[in-house]
Amino acid sequence: MKLGWVDCSSGVSGDMLLGALDQLGGLDGLPAALAAMPMLNATVHRNTVLRAGLSALQVDVQTPADPPHRHLGDVLDIVAGAVLPDRVRHNVEKVFRRLAAAEAAVHGVAPEEVEFHEVGAVDAIVDIVGVCLGLDRLGIDRLTAGPVALGGGTATSAHGVLPVPAPAVLQLLADTRLVAHGGPVDVELATPTGVALLAQLADAAGPMPAMEVTGVGRGAGSRDIPGRPNVLRLVTGTAVALPTHDNGWALVEANVDDLDPRLWPAVIDALFAAGAADAWLTPILMKKGRPAHTVSALVEAAGQAAVLDVLFRESSTIGARSTPVGKHALPRQCLEVRVEGETVRVKVATLDGDAVTVTPEWEDVAAAARVLGRPAKTVLADAVAAARVRITRTDG
C-alpha cells in the first residue's frame, strides 16, 4: 500500500499542497486539466524558495485581476468540463461541497447561495483540482495528516477582519477526525481550501505511519515566518509492519484499596470466567500508607472488554490500565494417572521434547486424598511419580 503523510506543523493551504506535489512529480497532468477550463484563464508559476533555511517549491496561481464571484453550481459546471478521471472529479466536487457547507453554516445561508470569494476564486479551483489530480497521479492509496497548526490573530477577508482560525476553517474541522491546534504564531496558517482538501482526502490524523520512505515534497507558504520554516511536507512511501514485542495478549490491572477482602475470590473466579488466562492479586502500599491490592488479569487482546467489565462490576475500582504483553507458553498435554484407584489429571509441559514440568491438578489430588484418607502431599508425590513413569514408557 502506498501511503502519504502530510506534515502540517506550519499549517496547510492549497498552494502549499500543490508545491509539495509538484516536487514529487504529481502535477504532470495539471496543464491539460487547465486547458480544458479556458474560462479560468489561469496559469501556474513555480519558484524554489528558502523558508528559514529550508528549500521548498512555491506555486503561484496567476488569475485575472477581477475574477467573477461564483456559486457552487457554477464551480461544479466548470469542474464537469475538465479533463479529469472520474475519481478525481468526484473528490474535487466533494471538496467544494464541503467548502460550501462550511461557509453556509458560518453565514447562515443555504450552500447553493454561498458566493465563493476567496475560497471559490480561480486560484482555489486550480488548487483543488491540482491537489486531487496530483495525489491520484502519485497513486496514493491512503493519506494521513499530522496535527494542523492554525495560527492566530486576525486576517482580512471579503467580509472584513475575521479572527484566526477563520470561522470556515473551524467549521470544516468540526466534521472531521483531523487534529488541530492554535499558534504557534499570530498569522493565518491554515486556509479553508487547505483544510477542506485534508478533510476530504485524509482519512486519519496522527504521527507519520510506519513506511519505507520513497519521496518527500516540500511546498512553501507565501510568507516568511521568522525562526520557523513556513513549509508543508508531503512524505510518501510503502506501508510496512513494525516488529512488536507482544503477540496479541494484554495485561489488565487495577489498584484497589477499599474492597472487602472476602470478595476477592469471587472477583478472581469472575475474571477466569470472562476469559482471563490467568488472574492474581499482589499486595501493595499506596499513598498515605494505605494497604491495597493490585488485581491483574492476563487475557487475549480481543477479550479485554470482558475482563474490564468484570473489574468494574465485581470490584470497587473506577479505573484500570491495560498493557500489550507477550505470552510465551510451553507445549503441554494432560495425562490421567491412577493413585490407589483414584484418577488424578496431570499437566505435562515439554521443552524440546523433554518433560520439564509435571503438575497434578490440585482439585483431583485433594479429592483423592479425602477418599483415601491420606495426606495430600503424599498423593501429590505419587501422582507425579506415576506420570513420570507414563512419560518414560511413552518415550521409550
Q: pLDDT tens-digit profile of 128-164?
A: 999 999 999 999 999 999 999 999 998 887 678 889 9
Q: Amino acid identity, residue 189?
A: L
Say if strands 231-239 and 211-220 run parallel, antiparallel, or are unpaired.
antiparallel
Averaged pLDDT for residues 72-94: 92
Q: Which of 154-168, 205-219, 276-290 has the lowest mean pLDDT?
A: 154-168
Q: What is the pLDDT of residue 94?
A: 96
Taking the complete model, does pTM exceed 0.85, yes or no?
A: no
**Same-domain status, 85 and 220:** yes
Helix axes 122-137, 86-107, angle to 10 degrees: 140
Question: Other CB atoms closer than 10 Å to residue 21's CB: what's the count?
Answer: 27
pLDDT in tens, 87-138: 999 999 999 999 999 999 988 999 888 887 655 478 889 999 999 999 999 9
Which structural domain range is residue 257 located in? 249-325
- Predicted confidence (pLDDT) at residue 282 exceeds the cutoff of 60: yes
User: Which of these, 127, 21, 116, lies nearest to 72 by C-alpha position?
Assistant: 116
Q: What is the pLDDT of residue 396?
A: 55
**Same-domain status, 272 and 224:** no
Distances (CA, A) of 363 to 215, 347, 351, 367, 374: 63, 13, 26, 6, 15
Share of the chain above pLDDT 70, in %: 96
Three-state DSSP at 326 gives coil
**Same-domain status, 129 and 219:** yes
388: alpha, beta or left, given left = phi > 0 and alpha = psi -120 to 50?
Answer: alpha
**Same-domain status, 219 and 259:** no
**Same-domain status, 340 and 194:** no
In this structure, is residue 108 part of a structural domain?
yes
pLDDT in tens, 236-262: 999 987 665 556 899 999 999 999 999
**Same-domain status, 115 and 156:** yes
How many domains are there within the chain?
Answer: 3
